[in-house]
């Protein structure tokens, strides 16, 4: 059955980068394998950043090499610059995302580059990718970080986000992604920004969103994304994660709650919810000090879940 909404699991990257404890590589592999077996179609397994900056993600090359052997899994990784991109290509990643903060202050703190320098770095990445054979060239996405507001600067004009997206598409990036790094976004804002980008860049240049639940609006924003036609939504098992360089920006959408919401509505994610919840045991065993969130795992899967899914699917098909 074709997938209606693709869920991209970002816990092994966005989740682990904000924890002080380091998860053993073997446990990460077990997590990735179990979540793949539960039906997750895409997993962001790590980030190609210097180990001295994020020792939690120092084993990313090993994880990419491992994950690319799992049949049918799209293996994604974050890269901050050309050097990171080179590492991702060498490891065999299928998809890479480079964060470009719409807040210049956040950009300077996060990647130590202003907007002009970021444009230059992205151009270097694009020039490098042109030298890579098509069969080895990963999809290159630029994530529009702090697109809905910044904890340092405050307001981020929507016109700036749309204009930068249009510029990046002209430069040749495969796609841009909308990222609510600080959890400030609301559904009406998401709709305005997404439709603005589509009007200027084309619908195929924005298909995914990265949302945080910092202020409890994560699922509301995800629902709006689905309603307007976004195909891919990032989330994190147990809701772990956030941005270490954006104060207060904790809390990704909980993958388990997102799957329950979408499947109950009759939308196919391809994910077995019961098997997904069981993956939490691997994470909690390896990270006993980490708090895992999620209303669905806490309350349990309701008895009528399958009936609700079937009823909703039938209603959608009418």
* pLDDT tens-digit series, residues 61-113: 999 999 999 999 999 999 999 999 999 999 999 999 999 999 999 999 988 99
Looking at the predicted structure, is the pLDDT value of residue 246 above 50? no
Residue 63 tokens read as: 């994880």
Q: Is residue 270 classed as helix, strand or coil in its secondary structure?
A: coil
How far is the C-alpha of 304 from the C-alpha of 166, rounded, in Å? 45
pLDDT of residue 209: 98
Contact (Cβ atoms closer than 8 angstroms) between residue 40 and residue 59: no
DSSP string, 215-266: TS-HHHHHHHHHHHT--EEEEBGGG--B-TTSTT-B-BPBHHHHHHHHHHTT
Q: How confident is the model at residue 245 (pLDDT cuts 50, 70, 90)?
A: very low
Q: Which helix (H) or strand (E) holds 210?
A: strand 208-210
pLDDT of residue 110: 85
Rg (CA), the chain: 18
DSSP label at residue 35: H
Q: How confident is the model at residue 318 (pLDDT cuts 50, 70, 90)?
A: confident
pLDDT of residue 250: 55
Phi and psi angles of residue 224, each rounded to the nearest 5 degrees, phi first: -65, -40
Q: Which residue has the tokens 């610059």?
A: 81
Paired residues of 141 in beta bridges: 97, 175
Q: 6-317: which CATH number, 3.20.20.70, 2.160.20.60, 3.30.70.100, 3.40.50.1970?
A: 3.20.20.70
Instruction: Out of 125, 150, 201, 243, pick the active-site residue.
Output: 243
How far is the C-alpha of 283 from the C-alpha of 296, rounded, in Å? 17
Q: Mind listing the pLDDT tens digit for each residue in 207-231?
A: 999 999 988 899 999 999 999 999 9
Domain boundaries, given as residue ranges, for the chain:
6-317
Residue 51: exposed, middle, or buried by beta-carbon count in 10 A (0-12, 13-18, 19+)?
exposed
Residue 313 tokens read as: 């699917």
Tell me the mean pLDDT in the region 168-172.
98
Q: Is residue 232 classed as helix, strand or coil in its secondary structure?
A: strand
Looking at the predicted structure, is the pLDDT value of residue 248 above 50? no
Looking at the predicted structure, is the pLDDT value of residue 206 above 60? yes
150 is catalytic: no
DSSP string, 119-187: HHHHHHHHHHHTTS-GGGPPEEEEEEETTT-BTTTB---HHHHHHHHHHHHHHT-SEEEEE-TTS---H
Contact (Cβ atoms closer than 8 angstroms) between residue 49 and residue 84: yes
Total length of the chain: 318
Distances (CA, A) of 138 to 5, 37, 182, 260: 21, 23, 27, 31
Q: What is the rounded average pLDDT for all residues in the chain?
A: 94
Tell me the mean pLDDT in the region 266-294.
96
How far is the C-alpha of 236 from the C-alpha of 213, rounded, in Å? 11
How far is the C-alpha of 60 from the C-alpha of 104, rounded, in Å? 28
Looking at the predicted structure, is the pLDDT value of residue 314 above 70? yes
């Amino acid at each position: 059955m074709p997938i209606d909404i693709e869920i991209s699991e970002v816990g092994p990257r966005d989740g682990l980068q904000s924890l002080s404890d380091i998860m053993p590589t073997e446990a990460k592999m077990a997590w990735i394998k179990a979540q793949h077996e539960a039906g997750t179609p895409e997993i962001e397994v790590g980030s190609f950043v210097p180990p001295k900056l994020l020792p939690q993600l120092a084993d990313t090359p090993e994880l990419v090499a491992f994950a690319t052997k799992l049949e049918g899994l799209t293996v994604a990784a974050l890269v901050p610059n050309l050097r990171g991109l080179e590492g991702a290509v060498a490891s065999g990643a299928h998809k890479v995302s480079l964060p470009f903060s719409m807040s210049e202050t956040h950009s300077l703190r996060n990647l130590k580059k202003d907007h002009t320098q970021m444009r230059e770095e992205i151009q270097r990445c694009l020039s490098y990718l042109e030298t890579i054979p098509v069969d080895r060239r990963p999809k290159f996405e630029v994530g529009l970080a702090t697109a809905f507001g910044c904890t340092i600067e405050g307001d981020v004009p929507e016109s700036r986000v749309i204009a930068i997206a249009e510029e990046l598409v002209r430069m040749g990036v495969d796609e841009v992604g909308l990222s609510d790094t600080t959890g400030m976004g609301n559904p009406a804002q998401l709709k305005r920004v997404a439709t603005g980008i589509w009007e200027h860049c084309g619908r195929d240049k924005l298909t995914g969103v990265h949302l945080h639940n910092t202020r409890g609006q994560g699922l509301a924003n995800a629902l709006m994304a689905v309603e307007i036609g976004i195909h891919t939504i990032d989330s994190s098992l147990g809701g772990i994660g956030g941005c270490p360089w954006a104060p207060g920006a904790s809390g990704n959408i909980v993958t388990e709650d997102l799957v329950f919401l979408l499947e109950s509505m009759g939308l196919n994610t391809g994910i077995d919810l019961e098997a997904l919840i069981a993956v939490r045991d691997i994470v909690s065993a390896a990270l006993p000090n980490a708090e895992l969130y999620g209303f669905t795992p806490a309350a349990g899967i309701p008895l009528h879940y399958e009936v609700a899914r079937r009823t909703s699917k039938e209603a959608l098909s009418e």
